């Protein structure tokens, strides 16, 4: 296998794929990459469309790449203008998408077409390839060849998922009858995962150089069904990309994914998500950030790049796998006797609304700001339904969705 990782480029016509060697060095803001074979073409474009090409005569190796501006001159000669600083290559690692996601060929094809076709044609090919694990059961096997330390961090990461999603997902060792399962192994190159249940055996690669509990938590998140948080279509409301600090060839790592592949389900943007890049991801300059949190996040002291499941991660898992049943366990149990008739005395542990939305923690001010006193009315560092002071008709909570500030909970009150 070549030392260069191959890249896949899809033409607008979607008629052919060209493999390119991955080049990580960019000098003078110039794209240094070359197509394989005679007279091949390298697709280059701005953020919204592919519109420029460079014809290369031969395969260039890493050492062959020019640092004297000759590539700029070649481009200017062919196109009558200079290669702009914000021009970047719209392609992904042929194996990995956004650094650590391995897409199946069909999903990759659809994503590339989405990138280049007008909206009406996009609707014709819309297809969601993400699948949920049946019954929330995720069988797995750990390759015996993995080093002891790698096995240890994998088990720690699985334990973390179990602890926070035990009422929703079931992680267990593969049994002979399991057709679909995850295999943790080392492909010798990188840490990566596939998104959602693919079918049959699917892999999560954990190499020695990236074997940490946080990385494995993140990769399991992909297998559960998550893309990257910062790939949401609305991310520009919450973060800024400092493209001047990102290598042009790496800017594709920050692409926003079409709605049909990444669905926030109305839940708030999650800075704290285990699926969010950190502030220095793919930085071209050591110590220079590539992502900056906007005022909305700074106001609530948001942090990005954490590698533990956030409260919103857990809320979305429960929504994805329908783990907030209606009627709720409280409603099935019968009515709640309230002395005041409004349920202000309720101290149970129902933590989602009558439509199945996970509640926001009373101790937090995101996504919804409030001024509730945590020392009164049974409030605290939890997200259980309450009716502080009896100001509403029955127990309720703030929700974890952006456009739904609060809702009543599925708790029936006995008639007085």
* Residues annotated catalytic, as ranges: 219
Token digits of residue 309: 């499941």
Q: How far is 364 from 382, CA to CA, in rounded Å?
A: 9
Q: Which residue reads 């005041």 in tokens? A: 340
Token digits of residue 205: 């690669």
Is 148 strand, coil or helix? helix
Q: How far is 330 from 414, CA to CA, in rounded Å?
A: 12
- The DSSP code sequence of 60-91 is --GGG---SSHHHHHHHHHHSSPPPTT-B---
Whether residue 45 contacts residue 32, with contact meaning beta carbons closer than 8 Å, is answered with: no
Identify the bridge partners of residue 8 per DSSP, sorted by sequence position: 19, 92
Q: How far is 17 from 40, CA to CA, in rounded Å?
A: 11
* Cα–Cα–Cα angle for 315, 234, 358, rounded to 5 degrees: 15
> Within 10 A of 347 (CB to CB), how many other CB atoms are there?
10
Q: How far is 201 from 180, CA to CA, in rounded Å?
A: 6
Q: How far is CA 358 from CA 150, 265, 316, 337, 401, in A?
A: 34, 12, 8, 24, 8
Whether residue 310 contacts residue 274, with contact meaning beta carbons closer than 8 Å, is answered with: yes
């Amino acid at each position: 296998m070549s030392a260069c990782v191959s890249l896949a480029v899809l033409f607008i016509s979607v008629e052919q794929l060209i493999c390119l060697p991955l080049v990580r060095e960019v000098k003078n803001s110039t794209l240094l990459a070359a197509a394989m074979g005679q007279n091949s073409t390298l697709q280059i474009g701005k953020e919204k469309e592919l519109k420029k090409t460079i014809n290369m005569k031969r395969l260039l190796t890493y050492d062959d790449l020019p640092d004297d501006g000759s590539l700029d001159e070649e481009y200017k000669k062919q196109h009558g203008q200079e290669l702009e600083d914000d021009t970047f290559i719209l392609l992904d690692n042929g194996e990995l998408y956004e650094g650590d996601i391995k897409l199946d060929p069909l999903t990759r094809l659809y994503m590339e077409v989405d990138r280049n076709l007008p909206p009406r044609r996009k609707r014709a090919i819309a297809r969601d390839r993400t699948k949920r694990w049946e019954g929330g059961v995720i069988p797995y096997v750990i390759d015996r060849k993995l080093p002891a330390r790698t096995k240890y961090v994998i088990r720690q990461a699985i334990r973390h998922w179990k602890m926070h999603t035990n009422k929703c997902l079931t992680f267990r060792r593969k049994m002979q009858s399991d057709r679909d399962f995850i295999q943790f192994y080392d492909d010798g190159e990188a840490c990566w995962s596939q998104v959602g249940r693919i079918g049959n055996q699917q892999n999560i690669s954990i190499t020695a150089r990236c074997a940490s509990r946080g990385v494995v938590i993140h990769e399991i998140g992909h297998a559960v069904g998550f893309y990257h948080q910062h790939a949401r279509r609305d991310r520009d409301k919450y973060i800024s990309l400092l493209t001047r600090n990102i290598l042009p060839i790496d800017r594709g790592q920050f692409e926003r994914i079409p709605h049909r592949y990444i669905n926030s389900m109305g839940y708030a943007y999650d800075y704290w998500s285990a699926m969010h890049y950190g502030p220095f991801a793919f930085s071209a300059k050591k110590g220079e950030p590539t992502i900056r949190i906007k005022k909305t996040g700074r106001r609530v002291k948001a942090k990005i790049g954490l590698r533990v499941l956030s409260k919103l991660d857990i809320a979305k898992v429960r929504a994805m796998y329908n783990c907030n049943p209606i009627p709720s366990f409280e409603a099935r149990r019968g009515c709640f006797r309230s002395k005041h008739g409004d349920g202000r005395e309720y101290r149970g542990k129902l933590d989602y609304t009558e439509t199945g939305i996970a509640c926001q923690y009373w101790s937090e001010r995101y996504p919804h700001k409030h001024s509730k006193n945590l020392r009164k009315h049974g409030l605290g560092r939890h997200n259980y339904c309450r009716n502080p002071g009896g100001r509403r008709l029955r127990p309720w909570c703030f929700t974890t969705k952006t456009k739904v500030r609060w809702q009543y909970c599925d708790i029936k009150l006995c008639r007085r």
